[in-house]
Amino acid sequence: MPSSAREKKSKLILDVAIKLFTHKGYVATKMEDVAKEAGISKGLTYFYFKNKEDLYMAVTKKAFDELKSIFRDIYKVKGKSGLQMITDLSHAYIDFTQANRMYYAAILNFMDLVQQYNHESLRAEIDPQILESEHFQKLLEIQHDCGKLGIQMISNGLRDGSIRPELSAEIAFYTVWSMLIGYERLMGPVGYEGKEIKIHLENWKPGFIKLLQDMLKGTVQATKPQVVQASLF
């Protein structure tokens, strides 16, 4: 089969899998469901993807590629300060998580898998079919691509003066990323109607972005406690 035809068939299976994973969920979706929806044989589906775990890792790889394209598009815009790039990225990242729920769930799932993978005692608990997936191995290779672009944005800000100079680009960016993950995870509790907290989604997002900006600019800075000289007697 010509490579172009193979790519089209592979893309068809992937697109159908994304649709079914989104609407039915990963657990409820079977490989035969994907084959039937795609209009191909179950055997041909297994020709392209070894098993459902392999297919899900391929979907996760596509999710990472989509997220990376957002980082790349923001980074390549000329004439913006590093701080503005991070601000634009924060807005785009939040929009991505809301518009692509299944993709984002796959990305977070992979992050959890990597945490397990990093520890020999926990690695054995990962499904062997995931570890054997070529897409999982590719994900391990590209997992820092978004981080590298984000670090470059922070580095630009350090050079152009829009971000406070004493920060480490690496630590600053991964702190920002962790804040964005936390923001998305807490949208449900914050959005839930209740009287216990005085915060609403419509004012939380701008407040969150402003606090993030202030942290990077230096408006919010820890003050070094003054040393008080005192006699013990």
Residue ranges per structural domain of the chain: 1-49, 51-217
pLDDT for res 191: 84
Residue 194: its pLDDT value, please? 65
Fold annotation for 51-217: Tetracycline Repressor; domain 2 (1.10.357)
Cα of 18 vs its chain's centroid, Å: 17
In tens digits, the chain (233 residues) has pLDDT values of 446 888 899 999 999 999 999 999 999 999 999 999 999 999 999 999 999 999 999 999 999 999 999 999 999 999 999 999 999 999 999 999 999 999 999 999 999 999 999 999 999 999 999 999 999 999 999 999 999 999 999 999 999 999 999 999 999 999 999 999 999 999 988 888 766 777 888 889 999 999 999 999 986 544 444 444 444 32
DSSP 22-71: HHT-TTT--HHHHHHHHTS-HHHHHHH-SSHHHHHHHHHHHHHHHHHHHH
Q: Residue 89 and residue 133: Cα distance in Å, rounded? A: 31
Q: Domain 1-49 class?
A: mainly alpha
Q: Which pLDDT belongs to residue 7?
A: 87
Residue 223 has a pLDDT of 45
Amino acid letter for position 172 = A
Q: Which residue shows structure tokens 């964005």?
A: 180
